[in-house]
């Protein structure tokens, strides 16, 4: 077998990337940089970033740098456990607040958002070009000074207030080093000015297998956390095809968020994919597709994210339960499909945390630290007389 290009500690490798080291070929399981494949490889489910392909060629000099760092044991199954961010509710109700007018009504001040919401996701930051992000506050939210004061008041009550990037029509290009730097610096300025706790990545346009954003977005986010500090809050809300969709077909947009998630495991606060507007889903736990909006779908997809799943010849190592939530619409008007009843939300939460009220799909064990529920949106919920937030919050309060 011919040897792949020699491994270099300064090169970033995406999932599926190839490198050789001391006449052994390796394939990257996910985004990695600086992890020596000779000391950071293992089989499926090992949590290591490299997998051995086989011996190759004839002995060649060890590539630069010659010194091999002492390997640090990697925990299994999650390579990078981090403490739960201080102040975040154990079981959180997470919602998107509209910084724009739509059929749910006009924008209103954040001070009027119900205190049932534990995380308020401001939607959305704007693409200012070249990786830069900007934010213009809708007049309905009040003056800029009022908005800043409202954010501070919510945070004083223990709420998290973060800025979302993307959405159905949004896009921010992070395709090279310069754009990554602009992304980091512009967001740090916004976070500092408005007092946000962090960001939510809802970027989907332009995210596909092999796209440069898979490499440069994690770099930009890591640098942003370094500037903000350990309290930095990071959530992700891709449509499920970008994550669990990799189990069915790993290519194009299917599973395209997996390398980004793997690269940001240490930084990630919570991943809550959207299980609406995407149709039924195939999982390892049923022979056919599971109906969108059902409790079984919510349990199955959460189980995949916590217990792991196969994709494209690789294995997605499970996240910690406190890093996982599920995203559902707040009502029939807020999404085109995938509506979930309050009963199904309750059953899914109780199944995941206590193994109670499970349907045909049940996790391997109870996950009492499962984070909670994300919904689109706070504004639609208010429009619908709080038909989602009140019962869901009441269920979250009863969980272990």
Structure tokens at 38: 């000779």
CA–CA distance, 390 with 373 (Å, rounded to integer): 13
Which conformational region is residue 282 in: left (phi greater than 0), alpha (psi within -120 to 50 degrees), or beta?
A: beta
CA distances from 317 to 79, 261, 308 (A): 8, 11, 5
Structure tokens at 313: 């010849």
DSSP 244-273: GGGGT--BTTBTTTHHHHHHTTTT-SEE--
Structure tokens at 150: 């409202």
CA distances from 310 to 5, 44, 224, 258, 332 (A): 26, 9, 31, 11, 33
Residue 336's CB is within 10 A of a number of other CB atoms, namely 11
Catalytic residue among 179, 204, 244, 307: 204
- Asked about 204 being catalytic, the answer comes back as yes
Structure tokens at 28: 């990257």
Question: 217, 267 in Cβ contact below 8 A?
Answer: no
Which residue's entry shows tokens 């029939």? 332
CA-closest candidate to residue 30, choices 266, 225, 355: 266
Instruction: Report DSSP state, residue 141.
Output: G
CA distances from 96 to 78, 110, 377 (A): 29, 11, 5
Backbone torsions φ then ψ of 390, nearest 5 degrees: -65, -55
Structure tokens at 302: 């959460």
Question: 32, 42 in Cβ contact below 8 A?
Answer: no
User: What's 78-123 look like in SS3?
Assistant: CCCCCCCCCCCCCCEEEEEEECCCECCECCCCHHHCCCCCCEEEEE
CA–CA distance, 262 with 330 (Å, rounded to integer): 29
Question: Annotated active-site positions, please?
Answer: 204
């Amino acid at each position: 077998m011919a040897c792949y290009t020699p491994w270099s500690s300064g090169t970033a490798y995406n999932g599926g990337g190839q490198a050789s080291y001391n006449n052994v070929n390796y394939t990257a399981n996910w985004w990695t940089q600086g992890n020596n494949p000779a000391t950071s490889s293992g089989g499926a489910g090992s949590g290591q970033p490299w997998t051995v392909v086989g011996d190759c060629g004839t002995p060649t000099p060890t590539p630069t740098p010659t010194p091999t760092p002492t390997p640090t044991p990697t925990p299994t199954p999650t390579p990078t456990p981090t403490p739960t961010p201080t102040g975040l509710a154990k079981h959180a109700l997470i919602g998107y607040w509209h910084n724009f007018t739509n059929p749910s009504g006009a924008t209103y001040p954040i001070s009027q958002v119900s205190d049932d919401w534990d995380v308020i996701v401001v939607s959305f930051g704007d693409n200012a070009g070249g990786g830069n992000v900007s934010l213009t506050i809708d007049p309905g939210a009040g003056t800029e000074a009022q908005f800043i004061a409202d954010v501070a008041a919510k945070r004083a009550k223990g709420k998290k207030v973060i800025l979302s990037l993307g959405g159905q029509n949004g896009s921010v290009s992070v395709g090279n080093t310069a754009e990554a730097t602009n992304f980091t610096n512009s967001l740090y300025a916004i976070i500092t000015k408005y007092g946000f706790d962090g960001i939510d990545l809802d970027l989907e346009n332009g995210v596909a297998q092999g796209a440069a954003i898979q490499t440069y977005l994690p770099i930009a986010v890591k640098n942003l956390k370094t500037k903000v500090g350990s309290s930095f809050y990071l959530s992700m809300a891709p449509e499920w095809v970008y994550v669990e969709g990799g189990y069915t077909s790993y290519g194009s947009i299917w599973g395209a968020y997996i390398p980004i998630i793997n690269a940001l495991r240490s930084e990630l606060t919570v991943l809550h994919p959207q299980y609406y507007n995407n149709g039924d889903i195939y999982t390892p736990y049923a022979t056919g597709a599971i109906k969108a909006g059902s409790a079984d779908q919510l349990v199955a997809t959460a189980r995949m994210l916590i217990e792991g799943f196969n994709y494209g010849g690789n294995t997605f190592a499970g996240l910690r339960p406190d890093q996982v939530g599920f995203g559902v619409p707040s009502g029939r008007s807020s999404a085109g499909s995938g509506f979930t009843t309050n009963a199904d939300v309750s059953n899914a939460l109780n199944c995941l945390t206590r193994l109670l009220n499970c349907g045909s799909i049940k996790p391997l064990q109870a996950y009492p630290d499962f984070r909670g529920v994300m919904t689109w949106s706070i504004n639609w919920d208010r429009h619908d007389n709080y038909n989602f937030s009140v019962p869901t919050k009441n269920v979250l309060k009863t969980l272990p």
